[in-house]
Amino acid sequence: MVSFSKRASVCTELPPPGSLFRGCRWCCREASLAMAIRVWGSTLRKTRRLWQAGEAGARQSHALAVADERFQRYASPVPSTVDHTAVLGRPETKVTTLPNGLRVASESDLSAATATVGVWIDAGSRFESASTNGTAHFLEHMIFKGTKRRSMRQLEEEVENMGGHLNAYTSREQTTYYAKVLKKDVPVAVDILADILQNSRFDDDRVTRERQVILREMEEVEGQVDEVMFDHLHATAFQHSSLGRTILGPAANIRSITKANLQDYIRTHYTAPRMVSP
């Protein structure tokens, strides 16, 4: 039986055992109904938010599927099929390590009539000190000036008679010597590369003459805006390190480099484990 106190209309009936509500069964029914309404409303709001999020995701996916011209300059966010036949059809590169540590990287193409052989040496301007900066590039110039077996003229004529091309370049990371010849002349090209790397003479008069050539080359480089900007970029990004120096080196170093400096650089850096011969 439900009873009310005289002072206020407050339900005094004890709640059923195990009930979560404080009040009579009528109050419990009203509270249950109110909770059900709140739960239903909360579920409805969550459903609406999920639907709105799904609609927004669909719009975003559609936007990604439409090519945006802002990204067309370099790539497109739309997946596309790419033909890799040209890459997969190339011959496999095989790397063989000789007992002295020299690595030989070879690619065989039986249909090719020409071949390129060279020596890539892990010895660029980054391996120089402030006092020896420019030695790697100076050595690249001197390497073709004659050996104990071939004079400079004999070296040039031998390459020209084969219809080949002999060249070199120096970077901050490496120095490279390579030759392009007919495939039948590969043994001769290998012999020439081995000769210039092991038996170069570095005559004093040739060193003096080449010093002037490099100084003129430096003047030409200083007139090229892109080269100057690139050198300044390295000097800023790699401050207080060898990578921040130029490849040609300062003019003072070029004027002071001697035959002994070149020979010492070869003994130190031109070692088999630091070479790759493709």
Cα separation values, 128 from 85, 198, 262, 271, Å: 43, 21, 12, 16
Contacts of 178 (CB under 8 A, 6+ apart): 116, 117, 118, 119, 166, 167, 168, 193
In the block, tokens 């439409």 appear at 66
Cα(23)–Cα(29) distance, integer angstroms: 10
Which residues are the active-site residues?
140, 210
Closest CA to 197 of 152, 264, 260, 139: 139
In the block, tokens 């900066």 appear at 133
Largest CA distance in the chain: 129
Strand order in the sheet with 275-277: 94-97, 103-106, 275-277, 114-121, 175-182, 165-170
